[in-house]
Structure 1
Amino acid sequence: MGATGFAGGAAGRDLVEVNVGVRNDAGRDAANRAAAEVKREFSFDALTIRVAPAAADNLASNPNVRYVEENGTMVAFEQTTPYGIDLTDADVAIDDGNTGDGVDVAVIDTGIDAQHETLEANLGDGWAAVDAACTTNCGGGPSGGGNGIEECLAEWDDDNDHGTHCAGTAAAADDGTGVLGVAPDVTLHAVKVLACDGSGTFDDIAAGIEWSADQGHDVQSMSLGADTDSSVVADALRYAADRGIVIVAAAGNSGPCTDCVGFPARDERVIAVSATDQSDALADFSSTGPEVDLAAPGVDTLSTVPRDGYAEFSGTSMACPHVAGAAAQVIASGVTGRDAVRNALLEAADDVGLAANEQGSGRLNVAAALDGDDGGDSENAAPTVESLSASPASTDTADAAFDVGWTVSDADGNLDAVELSLTDETDGELEETVSAAVDGEQAGDTTRLVAADDDGTGNEYAVELTVTDADGASASDSTVVSAEEDTADGGDTAPVIDRFTVTDDSNPNWSRHTVDWAVSDADGDLAAVTSEQSAGGDVVDRASTTVSGDTASGAHDLESRRTSVTEIRLTVVDGAGNETVETRSF
């Protein structure tokens, strides 16, 4: 958009409908003066007007106006249906007594059947945009027209099927009738912003988000979207997020593709959901991209349709309400704060082997997000290598020796054994293996590994540690260390890494790590410390600090667009060119 952003009829006599974002009262006054008709004013700094094209162009160049956008439309993502309650362990959560009771979920869609046998008991207040209000005489549209109901029981009644189907997945009651939803005791609110043909204007959708936010709802579920962004909808998302609402949206049905997540799902305030099938394979229609946060079942999913009906639909529209219901469950369990709810869902997700841009953090697991039983399907939690470091050690012989410091832990208190190995990287020869018994929740020690009859001058050695628990679960880590020059004679010594800890603050869109380090050099000849973030062997970010003397410490912040980082490497170099390297694997 710009000075020539709006095309009108002859001499500009035709009106265009636009959303106007304003910076201040002067901008709002300018928009009102230009308007032939004011269609809607928002609580946030925006309004929707009908205006002559030339006047719209003038508003777009007004410094008191943030944006002027044509009032486009969004449509319900195309359908085909869910079964995913069992796959996501929502049934396990429900059996444990978690039902979402006391949480309000807004389904911002085509409405909800006002009398469905397994939804009616969960229905709270609803709302409909004037342009989307229920009708029994639908003229067709991108979703194939309305469902032909004979009577609208409320203005927010569902004359399309789509919204009712999403509502059933999120919260169909556990009453022995029909189907079971993810959170069967939440209060559902129909926010009807899509007409019977499955489409709705940007301003109607923004108004629905605003209404829901003003009611104090906890979760908003949006199985809708467009290829283009909308500034007025983004304003509404900000308005809702500022009021603490967890917002979930379908990623879109533009697949196969690699970077095509729709809007509003790609907005940073929204949990974007892709679709998988019953085998945890990516649905071929699912949009993917770096904005995807979670995957959920969206192929042939069974849910509710008006009146007292049930059908299988497919689409990311069907995946989205699984996550909305799970968010309600997390909130009902006592978790507060939008970020805390989001993190609980992402951290508990099951890695089903898809790429990060396909599954985000993984496929939804409702029970795990509540710290509940996983239904007996997962194995004992694996132990963890907390730290691993190695430094050259002085000996009375010409052998290359290294002191290896390590700590391991196991959340189940079930540690069993640690094995350390030393391999000469020059020829690939295994030099020594040492095993130690461990128990409890945490253990640590310093172990000396020796490359016998090898002075190791100029060589690099790989140190690998494997920890195993009593159930056979294991974890490994490794580091690389350089041998001292002339170990026996005490020549120029390599620097030592005394501290190397990594804090992982990554999210589905960014790989972020903070490296906290401390180094020393017996010769007082420190030169430089470098941290590197690697993905698949390629360095994706690097930070370096010049140092001097015999000790130094500091921190490096590493960041890259989500690239599935597999390793963090720390290198310290002294003035003689000796270097010591350690790595942390992910």
Structure 2
Amino acid sequence: MPANNITRRRVLQTVGGAGVAGAVGTGTASGDDSGPSDGYIIGVDPGKSDLPAQAADQVFRRLDFGEIGEAVSGRFSEQALDALRSNPNVRYVERNGRMHAHDQTTPYGIDITDADVAIDDGDTGEGVSVAILDTGIDAQHETLESNLGEGWAATDAACESDCSGCRFGGGGSDIDECLEEWDDDNDHGTHVAGTAAAADNGTGVLGVAPEVTLHAVKVLDCCGSGSFDDIAAGIEWSADQGHDVQNMSLGGDSDSDVVTDALRYAADRGVVMIGSAGNSGECTDCVGFPARDERVVAVSATDENDELASFSSTGPEVELAAPGVDTLSSIPRDDYDEFSGTSMSAPHVAGAAATVIADGTEDREAVRAELKDAADDIGLSDEEQGAGRLNVAAAVDADGDDDDDDEDDDEEEDESVTVATEAATDVEETSATLNGEVTELDGVDEADVGFEYGNSGEELSSDVDAGTVSSEGTFDADIDGLDGGTEYEFRAVAEIDADSDSGEIRSFTTDDGDGTGDSDPVIEQFDVTEDSNPNWSRHTVDWEVSDEDGALDTVTSEQLDAGSVVDSVTSDVSGGNADGRHDLESRRSSVDEVRLTVVDEAGNETSETESV
């Protein structure tokens, strides 16, 4: 390894040691690390960004997190700050602090996490987008270039070919030129990207998920430092692009409200977020931010012997452990080196999350659960290893031979059933048809289904058998002997030998014999607006409905892909008129129709469908 690489690595250690990253040694700094030029960030209620913008001496950036709120960063006088702090529309005022790349020293973890077994089984993360929020990614690296997608850089973090003036001395990667604004001028981001997704092309190193699309989100400058608003903007931009996974090998000791806003924004859009726990060890209850945020999977670091790294932060927020000592990966340009730090452990988990998503699990919490359920207990405490050390192959049930006994291969598939209650139909004076649906039927060939029902507000003391089903789908049963003009409640039930389930309680009202309750509800307005991108199908439905009998019950909007429902939103309504808006979104589906359905209390329903 050339001497200049060794010097550069030592510089990075020093930078991380005093930075927000919680680096080896002190792992300090927070908002107090910001200089006067970083200014303040004002978080306000939705639609109120003009308030701080007009009060600012200089505006750096505006951020819009939708219903969560907005934020404005800039320079403010003390008088303006005092006035803003007392304004009821202001949610927070914080210094625009900085975060830094977590400390690194020298990698390997593909084998120990069985990522190679998953890759050999065809689980490579193909079709999934992973954003690396870091110092950038080398735009021409031999083991990364084929996987690179669109990138983004914050203005203050944009690539520099001559890095100087770092607070703790030293500089970045000393690249001769910046090929993109998001090119890596530090080494850190390229190293992280290689661990997550270096291509399986026979050159250099192999990443956990070698066929994902990598996106450089450059929020840290050549010194490995980034401001709160730049980091929040990077999270926001990535979420808006529909990226599936975000890796954040960065952090600090103190929280940031604007970064928290951004994390909420990304979580609301289904992004799986991975964060390095920090390098403040040996310590307890010292996981840094944003890793300790409840929306982020915090990752501690272990070595090749499954021992906890001496530098790794620990605490109750740790969810997984992964290799982070002497991990080999890529650095600019077409070079490689060994670094250590929780910065190196986090991208193992980011690549694994992409592998799980590509395997068919898209819900962010389900991805999180599968990674944790598959982890190997390596004998560390919960605060050190969380659920255990990452096992990629187990997370996707990949086949492969290794030294471990694959006891799970011989276990029987879990048996379970899930049922949903659908609206009653054909409701008359003394009879009705009850409807339900088996939505999941796993590990068994059939389930017994039926309904429980009774007068509204009382126990569901009556039941009716709907037979046996052998697959997922709808079922129904007719009931009679009801009282006219009476409200009833019911729910669908299903049972197998090892499990049972019941749906939510729904209601209907029988006809009172004077002709009311017979008219179908009417869709007065059904407007669909599309805001889709290659990764997300998004539609907004504005609707207005009415019912002559004054007995509206529910309104449902659905996205359809070749007739199958891929997303739905239901609103409970009442009376004779109602209106509202539904936001629908589904990931990587080819939505061709949107359907609106209104149901009244008698079970009468009306549907309309629009092609999109």
CA distance in 2, matches of 1:313, 1:158: 16
CA distance in 2, matches of 1:150, 1:347: 45
For the pair 1:18 / 2:33, whether they are aligned, the reply is no
Match of 2:249 in 1: 223
Match of 2:143 in 1: 118
Equivalent residue letter for 1:122: N
Unaligned 5+ segments in structure 1 are 1-5, 8-13, 384-408, 414-440, 443-500, 502-586
Q: By how many angstroms is 1:34 displaced?
A: 1.1
For the pair 1:271 / 2:301, whether they are aligned, the reply is no
For the pair 1:131 / 2:156, whether they are aligned, the reply is yes
Contact 1:15 1:51 in 2 (8 A): no
Q: By how many angstroms is 1:137 displaced?
A: 1.8
Which of 177, 195, 220 aligns to 2:221? It is 195
Match of 1:320 in 2: 346
Match of 1:249 in 2: 275
Which of 288, 292, 295 aligns to 1:262? It is 288
Which of 116, 124, 127 aligns to 1:99? It is 124
For the pair 1:61 / 2:86, whether they are aligned, the reply is yes
> Greater CA deviation, 100-109 or 368-377?
368-377
Match of 2:57 in 1: 36
Q: By how many angstroms is 1:49 displaced?
A: 1.8
Match of 2:584 in 1: none
RMSD, aligned CA: 2.3
CA distance in 2, matches of 1:57, 1:300: 49
Q: By how many angstroms is 1:235 displaced?
A: 0.4
| Structure number, greater radius of gyration | 1
3-state SS, counterpart of residue 375 of structure 1:
coil
Q: Percent identity?
A: 67
C-alpha distance 289-266 of structure 1, shift in aligned 2 (>3 A): same
Equivalent residue letter for 1:133: A
C-alpha distance 410-174 of structure 1, shift in aligned 2 (>3 A): closer
CA distance in 1, matches of 2:38, 2:300: 35
C-alpha distance 48-412 of structure 1, shift in aligned 2 (>3 A): closer
TM-score, length-scaled by structure 1: 0.62
Contact 1:288 1:358 in 2 (8 A): yes
Contact 1:16 1:51 in 2 (8 A): no
Which of 332, 351, 354 aligns to 2:377? It is 351
Unaligned 5+ segments in structure 2 are 1-30, 415-442, 445-498, 500-612
Task: List structure 1 runs of 4+ shifted beyond 6 angstroms.
Answer: none
Match of 1:411 in 2: 412
3-state SS, counterpart of residue 275 of structure 2:
strand
Equivalent residue letter for 1:38: V
Contact 1:258 1:288 in 2 (8 A): yes
C-alpha distance 142-261 of structure 1, shift in aligned 2 (>3 A): farther
Q: By how many angstroms is 1:76 displaced?
A: 0.3
Q: By how many angstroms is 1:191 displaced?
A: 0.4
Which of 83, 99, 107 aligns to 2:108? It is 83
Which of 250, 263, 273 aligns to 1:237? It is 263
CA distance in 2, matches of 1:136, 1:196: 9
CA distance in 1, matches of 2:380, 2:169: 30
CA distance in 2, matches of 1:382, 1:348: 11
Contact 2:133 2:249 in 1 (8 A): yes
Aligned length: 380
TM-score, length-scaled by structure 2: 0.60
Equivalent residue letter for 1:18: Y
3-state SS, counterpart of residue 247 of structure 2:
strand
Q: By how many angstroms is 1:240 displaced?
A: 0.6
Equivalent residue letter for 1:126: G
CA distance in 2, matches of 1:412, 1:154: 49
Equivalent residue letter for 2:334: D
CA distance in 1, matches of 2:136, 2:38: 28
CA distance in 2, matches of 1:138, 1:283: 31
For the pair 1:178 / 2:201, whether they are aligned, the reply is no
CA distance in 1, matches of 2:400, 2:283: 32
CA distance in 2, matches of 1:125, 1:269: 25
CA distance in 1, matches of 2:224, 2:413: 50
